[in-house]
Amino acid sequence: MARRYNYRRVKIHHSYSIPEFAKLLDVHKNTVSRWIAAGLQTIDKKRPLLIQGTVGRAFLQARQPPKSKCGPNEFWCFKCRDRRKPAFDEADYRPVTPTSGRLQALCPVCSRIMNRGVRKAEISRACPDVRVTEKVEQQRIDDSSDPTLNVVIKQEK
Ligand SMILES: [Zn+2]
């Protein structure tokens, strides 16, 4: 699970070296190097590498995980940007591996499909009050024939 970083500490009119940026956010220098490898832009390739405040801040902000983890019966709706309980208290379970998969439910507010990764053994703990239907083998057919589903999957990226 991604950690939350206090990106508000990053001054937008400031440039930071890797050690400065690491100290500011209370992380190891290697973490900053990993961020750079993951797409955090430096001003140029000259050493020492410098990170522009605006860029660093936007990068961290974009990586920020949702405000809190979903509680029981809750899904994260990317459209509403909020946690929602499934419409009709119903969800589908689509296995991805023999032991885990994803739960899909409709958002009661915007009617988009919400996904929640789950271990199969923990379905009843994750969604004690939701009627979960396991969908087997139909996954591929559904994914390609249901345009709504395809749209939602694209939006998540
Ligand atoms: Zn919604």
The string of pLDDT tens digits covering residues 112-129 is 999 999 999 999 999 999
Q: How far apart are CA 106 and CA 114, in angstroms?
A: 6
CA of 97 to the centre of ligand 1 (A): 27
CA of 84 to the centre of ligand 1 (A): 7
Give the model's pLDDT for residue 5. Answer: 84
In the chain, ranges of CATH 1.10.10 domains: 7-63
Give the model's pLDDT for residue 144. Answer: 52
CA of 118 to the centre of ligand 1 (A): 20
CA of 80 to the centre of ligand 1 (A): 4
Give the model's pLDDT for residue 143. Answer: 53
φ, ψ for residue 80, nearest 5 deg: -75, -20
- pLDDT above 70: percentage of residues in the chain: 82
The string of pLDDT tens digits covering residues 30-64 is 999 999 999 999 999 899 999 999 999 999 988 77
CA of 144 to the centre of ligand 1 (A): 22
Fold of 7-63: Arc Repressor Mutant, subunit A (1.10.10)
Candidates 17, 8, 94, 19; CA nearest to 54 is 8
DSSP line for 4-69: P--GGGS-TT-EEEHHHHHHHHT--HHHHHHHHHTTPPPS-SSSSPEEEHHHHHHHHHHHPPPSS-
The rounded radius of gyration (Å) of the Cα atoms in the chain is 20
CA of 48 to the centre of ligand 1 (A): 45
Is the pLDDT assigned to residue 75 strictly greater than 90?
yes
Which residues are within 5 Å of ligand 1 (an ion), measured at CB?
77, 79-80, 107, 109-110
**Which of 149-155's residues contact partners 24+ apart within 8 Å by CB, and which partners?**
149/113, 152/78, 152/112, 152/113, 152/115, 155/78, 155/79
